[in-house]
Amino acid sequence: MLDVVQHAVEAARRAGAGYADARWVAEETESLTVRNQEMEGIDRALSQGIGIRVLVDGYWGFAASARVTPEDVEHTAGLAVEIARAASRLPTDPVRLSPVEPVTASWSTRVQEDPFTVPLDEKVALLMEASRRMQAVKGLAFGEAILDFYRRRTSFASSEGAAIQQTITNSGGSIAATAIGDGEVQRRTFPGSSRGGLLAAGYERVRTLPLVQEAERVASEAVGLLSAKDCPSEVTTLILDGEQMMSQVHESVGHPLELDRVLGMEEAYAGTSFVKLEDRGTLRYGSDKVTLVADATSDGGLGSFGFDDEGVPAQRVVLVENGVFQDFISSRETAPVLGDGAASAGAMRADGWQNLPLIRMTNINLEPGEGTLAEIIGDTKDGIFMTTNTSWSIDDKRVNFQFGCEVAWRIKDGRLTEMYRNPNYTGITTEFWGSCDAVGGREEWAMWGTPNCGKGQPGQVARVGHGTAPARFRGVQVGVR
Amino acid sequence: MPEPVGPAEARRVAEAALDLPGADAVEVLFLHEWGGLTRFASSHIHQSTSREDTGIRVRAVSEGRTGVAATNEFSVEGARRAAASALEMARVAAPDPLFPGLAPQAPLPDAGDRFDEATARATPRFRADAVAALVGAVEDPAFHAAGAFETSAAEVAVATSQGQFCYAPTTQATISTVVSGGEGGAGISESAAGRMGDLDPERTGRRAFAKASGSQRPRQVEPGRYDVVLEPLAVSTLVAFLAYMGFGGKGIAEGRSPFSGKEGQRVCGEAVSITDDALSPDTLGLPFDFEGTPKRRVTLIDRGVFVSGVHDRRSAKQAGVESTGHALPAPNPDGAFPLNLFLAPGEATLEDMVRTTERGLLVTRFHYSNIVHPIETTITGMTRDGTWLIENGQVTAPVTNLRFTQSVLEALSNVRMVGRDTELAAEFSFAASRVPALAISGFTFSGRSDH
């Protein structure tokens, strides 16, 4: 479809655009949900169309349509230009784009087995067996198993001469066990909640996920939580597993370091950030154990690609190094405010063809430290270990947060003891990261995926990645009532 | 502007999918949406978009098994391909013992004309002028406005092989802004309507600016238990989460809802009555659901007593009742959902509520809320864009934002006064809740932020 997007760019230029780019996107999805060995949902979807973005006298316009005949494309390009001209109704400084070398390239997720060609009955059989094993645990109300597959094919062209084709494939699955009783609904999931388990990969990802093998444990823990005590309210040492660290990184590092938020471009909806432009190189974000990167080249990450939706190559950007804030997640429009010829960090992505690219997290990774989870727990005299996110909330500048987890255990003298239900914890972003005194080593580090990151108006959903290891924090308020 | 497809063309394409060899039954959901959104920040327009999409979603049934396929290839060929894919999926699915069959032919209630030609044809220039009027109402250059003005139109149709065909065109316009600046503090104002002519951008800007200028130099207060006056935007968050946690018929039947087994029992204060009514002229809704069942007005809570939840065809069969017309698009594992909630107004003004509060907080809105305990209906979130201390019946000072952790039903059990005026909060397409302000005795704030 390169010819279609190149035609769109030419049409936009003829209509008056100083700069134009166009993306044709076809997104295929397949989703299967089995609950108590009944099919709750099995569906496929295909959505394709073109999105055309233009700059006219330094003002943005964007128009998108599912219609891609030459005449329709010209109409959509003209509409994008009309929108840009209308934006000048409130004059401001014209947009300047940081330079990027236009390339002709193609890139695809490394896929060993196309998930869309694996027979449906094989997928259903896997989910049925996982569900059956969960149901075999006495007292369980629901055993749910799901598979999700996405394939996005993009053709991108810009008036600067870029011509890029990409195919990104995401595959994954998870199980969830729900127990109900005595005023409680308790749920355990594997490998993660919120349709977790998704990575940039083919069906081989599903083949290596032990959904069936973990089913009994997950179901037993859900039932066990019904009779567990509530997590006590106290200030204590907190150890989080890698899955919860994904949410912690996502909400309290990824979002506040998006440069569009810092510049107020998301103020009315998602909010802004406590981080300021002048904080680079000076703000103490966390302890010296804390190093975080935005790495679109990470293997298997949902935020991995060859080029972002502005044609900027994937890259690795250090955000926080040994606790000190270093850099933002940026775009071609926002990078120039950083001065010194700053280039885009390559983080612009759009939700399908229908939406304008926004700064989105790529893979925001917490770099590994040292030691296993068992060693970190073994080195803890008293505290709480929490695992698997259930709930997240953070203020509009990303300062005060509160998270809930599926389950917690008391740590006593280096050992996990009593299990608690309904655990949660709260904190202030820089204080919390400043209290981090251990991050698990490479052997504990894993890539996780957030499939439902929301941002923008109209609302967009992005799939983003987070490589994390378990970590320990001191003096944390847990058990918020 | 894109031209509406119209019922005849929607039916023609749908019939290509309904005529599916090998299927026992077929349902087609048709959706054509278009519109534009002009987004602004720092008092200038920075992101403006326009989009049009036409989609069909086919549910095929074979021996009690169902499969779903969707495409935005709106054509006879696209419909046939989607139908064939749906049937392929149905054939590998397990039979659903609760499958209730597809919607039969049934007359639609009269919801009035909900399509406004001017809104459907709104131009980028019109939206830009409206945003300029809003921004112009921010009188002090030390303040700036951010927000969005959206105009959209949609055609929705549902056809089933059981003979049901329903079609409705709708329009919607929403405008919202957060004004901030000066020496800290911010204010929000937003409104929604089916016709853009019913919105007042300049007034929206004035209201947000008034809040922002009145919340300068906020001071910190300690978290704890406060009496509160919640403005309608804040109340809409409580009602939306209550609906999410509790009003779906499937969750009630499965014991996952705080209302499971509570039919006819008191669940909150007498001052609280909640209904869902898509047919009311005071909301933005469709006269039928996404299975093609006509919408009904449902009383959820009547003067503090839980009456019933909402149903799609499947949960209705499970409960032994009829669908209330609250199905979401298939497949929908979560079941029915009320999209057009109303919290019944009372007689108090906001001034009455403040005047009768000895010490408490006036809250404009909540932000980024989430569930803590679904059965206890406990949620947490932050205040944002205008929170004030009330002392001796008067608003005395703006305060920095606080985190609340609070049971919704407990809060609704402690309602002291209900507002006379209601506001419509549009949540997403075809979904909006209309609620008044509430004065509540005892509301738990568990933490605070620095701004």
Q: What domains can be seen in chain A, in order of their start residue?
A: 2-227 (3.30.2290.10), 230-478 (no CATH)
Please tell me the distance from the alpha carbon of residue B255 to that of residue A11, in angstroms, as a whole number: 58
**Model pLDDT for residues A93-116, shown as the tens digit of each residue:** 999 999 999 999 999 999 999 999
Min Cα–Cα distance to chain A from B221, Å = 15
Contact between B380 and B167 (Cβ < 8 Å): no
pLDDT at B94 over 90: no
pLDDT at B429 over 80: no
Portion 239-298 of B in contact with A at CB < 8 A: 254-256
Q: Which of A294, A107, A302 is nearest to A205 (CA)?
A: A302
Q: Which of A64, A267, A355 lies closest to B178 in CB terms?
A: A267
DSSP category for residue A241: -
**Model pLDDT for residues B175-227, shown as the tens digit of each residue:** 999 999 999 899 999 999 999 999 999 999 999 999 999 999 999 999 999 99
How many beta-carbon contacts under 8 Å exist across A and B? 264
User: Would you state the pLDDT for residue B401?
Assistant: 97
DSSP category for residue A165: E
User: Would you state the pLDDT for residue B181?
Assistant: 95
Distances (CA, A) of B350 to A188, A426, B170, B231, B418: 44, 33, 33, 8, 9
User: Would you state the pLDDT for residue B12?
Assistant: 96
Please tell me the distance from the alpha carbon of residue A175 to that of residue A388, in angstroms, as a whole number: 13
- CATH of region B7-209: 3.30.2290.10
Contact between A219 and A131 (Cβ < 8 Å): no
Q: How much is the ipTM here?
A: 0.95
Cβ of A480 and B446 within 8 Å?
A: yes
Compute φ and ψ for A355, nearest 5 degrees: -125, 155
User: Would you state the pLDDT for residue A196?
Assistant: 80
Q: Are strands A38-56 and B65-71 parallel, antiparallel or unpaired?
A: parallel
User: Would you state the pLDDT for residue A65?
Assistant: 96
Residues of B in contact with A404 (CB under 8 A): 370-372
| Residue B335 tokens, joined | 């079941």
Instruction: Write out the DSSP string of A124-161.
Output: HHHHHHHHHHHHTSTT--EEEEEEEEEEEEEEEEETTS
Q: Which of A263, A269, A455, A464 is nearest to A356 (CA)?
A: A455
Chain mean pLDDT for chain B:
96
pLDDT at B1 over 80: no
Residues of B in contact with A141 (CB under 8 A): 254-255
Measured torsion, CA atoms of residues A429, A435, A436, A438, in degrees rounded to the nearest 10? -170
User: Would you state the pLDDT for residue A340?
Assistant: 84
**Exposure string for B202-231, b = 16+ CB within 10 A, e = fewer:** eebbbbbbbbbbebeebeebeeeebbbbbb
DSSP H or E stretch at residue A111? none
Please tell me the distance from the alpha carbon of residue A339 to that of residue A337, in angstroms, as a whole number: 5
Mean pLDDT computed over B3-22: 95
Min Cα–Cα distance to chain A from B335, Å = 10
Query: Model confidence at B333, in pLDDT bands (50, 70, 90)?
Result: confident
Cβ of A63 and B428 within 8 Å?
A: no
| Residue B378 tokens, joined | 């406990």
**Model pLDDT for residues B259-297, shown as the tens digit of each residue:** 999 999 999 999 999 999 999 999 998 999 999 999 999
Q: Which of A401, A433, A468 is nearest to A238 (CA)?
A: A433
Please tell me the distance from the alpha carbon of residue A342 to that of residue A324, in angstroms, as a whole number: 19
The number of CA neighbours under 13 Å toward the Cβ of B124 is: 26
Q: In chain B, which residues fall in CATH 3.30.2290.10?
A: 7-209
pLDDT, block means (10 residues), chain A with 481 residues: 97 98 98 93 95 98 97 98 96 95 98 97 96 97 97 98 98 98 95 90 97 98 98 98 98 98 96 97 98 97 98 98 98 96 96 98 98 98 98 97 98 98 98 98 96 94 97 98 83
Contact between B293 and B310 (Cβ < 8 Å): no
**Model pLDDT for residues B103-115, shown as the tens digit of each residue:** 999 999 988 899 9
Residues of A in contact with B74 (CB under 8 A): 66
